[in-house]
Amino acid sequence: MLPSHLNGHSPLARRRPRLSAASPPATGDSDAAAAADAPLAEHDRIYFQSYSHIGIHEAMIKDRVRTDAYRSAIMHHQKFIEGKVVMDVGCGTGILSVFCARAGAKRVYAVEASEMATQAREIVKANNLDDKVIVVHGRVEDVEVEDKIDVIISEWMGYMLLYESMLPSVLFARDKWLKSGGLILPSHATLFMAPITNSERYEGSVDFWSDVYGINMSALVPLAKKFTSEEPSIEIIGGENVLSWPFVVKHIDCYTFKAEELKSITTKYKVSSMMLAPIHGFGLWFEVEFNGPSNPTDNSPSDLNPLDVIHKKRRRGSDDPVVLSTAPEDEPTHWHQTILYFPDPIEVKQDQIIEGSVKVSQSEENPRHHP
């Protein structure tokens, strides 16, 4: 089973179920059974099985930044949701489906591919919402529902936004069921990246081996460098660790984005170091916005100076769309930040230009992964 918690020295190992489903829809038991029994690729089987573990759901729900952002977004768009049909893609325990039902949705299709669908159905019933929330057990790509959908909601984001690639399932649901002018929550997502310095972490993982209880173990330093740099690390850093303004790796508009665009993402960057310090690697984080269909962002963050994006976020008022941020300067979430460490640090001076390119590609063996 994939672990439900990752420490700062662990590689990427798990995140949200892709686009799942959970319980016989109104179209009939035979369709639901067929969806639940549809053959799965091995990577899908392992993935969905991991989301049957309560620890994963506990970590996500206890993340108040995440859960409160979704609840606030639902209430922000309550007038649009009232009396409408909602699809919750990868509903897990069904918490977002319950939020939508309580906000006045006429019907909610809570789609979940893992065995957590069984508990989601019980939770719906325990909250007296089984007349509104239909738990559909199966992948969203395999299920059928009898309605066109007014609202799609999903917590599809993985580590560094794209790890696990659950987004294609949201896009599938959009193209198959969403009405023209429908609402997608979240509506936009932006992946940021910046050079970081973290001497304490590097010394604790690499330099540590030079003197262990008075024993010279420096022979392990090359292995430690290899281990540190060959896999992304999930950990929390602060704004003080970030050496420059971040740059935008990718901006995603969920109303128009195509799944094929995920296969390979390449961007060039050119930033200036804000201090004299060693670069130990690059940090990645993301933000998602919950904009309405008639209220798209005026500018794509990729067209804005990242400083302007940050200032815009800080100026948001109560009437502005809800933003869920995993940036180092914001309150930590269970996503933390994703760090790509170098084997050896690189010294830079204040105002020194750091430039290059970054490529994020979908794994051929497992399309959910972006190594």
Count of Cβ atoms closer than 10 Å to residue 305 Cβ: 12
d(CA 189, CA 296): 12
> What is the β-pairing status of strands 233-235 and 85-89?
unpaired
d(CA 341, CA 147): 48
d(CA 30, CA 17): 24
Alpha helices in the chain (DSSP H): 29-37, 42-50, 54-62, 64-76, 78-81, 95-102, 116-126, 167-177, 199-205, 221-230, 306-314
Establish whether 260 is a catalytic residue: no
**Which positions ≥6 away from 304 have C-beta within 8 Å?**
312
Of 176, 78, 61, 85, the residue nearest 134 (C-alpha): 85
Secondary structure class of 211 (helix, strand, coil): coil
Structural domains of the chain sorted by starting position, each given as residue range(s) with its CATH number in brackets = 43-155 (3.40.50.150), 188-370 (2.70.160.11)
Establish whether 164 is a catalytic residue: yes
Most distant CA atoms of the chain, gap in Å: 70
d(CA 91, CA 154): 7
* H or E stretch at 338: strand 337-348
- The pTM score is 0.83
d(CA 153, CA 70): 9
Distance from the Cα of residue 127 to its chain's centroid: 28
- Helical pair 95-102 and 64-76, crossing angle rounded to 10 deg: 30
d(CA 154, CA 233): 25
What pLDDT is attached to residue 16? Answer: 36
Q: Enumerate the β-bridge partners of residue 282.
A: 195, 340
What pLDDT is attached to residue 52? Answer: 56
* H or E stretch at 367: none
Q: pLDDT 10s per residue in the chain (371 long)?
A: 333 333 344 444 434 333 222 333 333 444 444 555 556 565 555 455 655 577 888 999 999 999 999 999 999 999 999 999 999 999 999 999 999 999 999 999 999 999 999 999 999 999 999 999 999 999 999 999 989 999 999 999 999 999 877 899 999 999 999 999 999 999 999 999 999 999 999 999 999 999 999 999 999 999 999 999 999 999 999 999 999 999 999 999 999 999 999 999 999 999 999 999 999 999 999 999 999 875 544 444 545 555 565 555 555 566 788 999 999 999 999 999 999 999 999 999 999 999 999 999 887 765 545 45
Q: Phi then psi for 141, rounded to 5 degrees?
A: -70, -15
Given the residues 141, 155, 287, 289, the one annotated as active site: 155
Given the residues 112, 141, 164, 287, the one annotated as active site: 164
Burial of 165 (0-12, 13-18, 19+ CB in 10 A): buried
Of 197, 149, 206, 144, the residue nearest 174 (C-alpha): 149
d(CA 243, CA 245): 7
**Which positions ≥6 away from 148 have C-beta within 8 Å?**
85, 177, 178, 179
